[in-house]
Amino acid sequence: EAQVTQNPRYLITVTGKKLTVTCSQNMNHEYMSWYRQDPGLGLRQIYYSMNVEVTDKGDVPEGYKVSRKEKRNFPLILESPSPNQTSLYFCASSGANTEAFFGQGTRLTVV
């Protein structure tokens, strides 16, 4: 089954404690992205990747890092999380001519 898998689904952490949210896709897609969803704002792109070792900033990249060492994986790293990064995060992947497929989401709370 074609899917995008994120882990964990839920995470509560404390300010400043580094964390990683993993994302993996099994569709051999070139493009992968991270979005955050906040009420009234819709989804905003954090980072995206056009292929292995090729990444670029989205609209809200501050406080986040990504890496794309393998085609199927695109982890999101928060080096020093802050409460304003409390949000619902989605990973997405797409091919050259396909719509974006989204993961189930990761609800992050930073206290």
By CB under 8 A, name the binding residues for other proteins: 4, 31, 33, 35, 40-45, 48, 50, 58-59, 90, 92, 94-105
Give all strands of the β-sheet with 4-7 in edge-to-edge order.
Answer: 4-7, 19-25, 76-78, 65-66
Tell me how far apart the alpha carbons of residues 105 and 8 are, in angstroms, rounded to a whole number: 9
Q: How far is the CB of 93 from other proteins (least distance, A)?
A: 9
In sequence order, the 6+-apart residues with CB closer than 8 A to the CB of 54 are 68
CB 7 within 8 A of CB 104: no
24 vs 94 by CB, closer to other proteins:
94
Distances (CA, A) of 9 to 14, 55, 97: 17, 24, 28
14 vs 54 by CB, closer to other proteins:
54
85 vs 93 by CB, closer to other proteins:
93
5 vs 86 by CB, closer to other proteins:
5
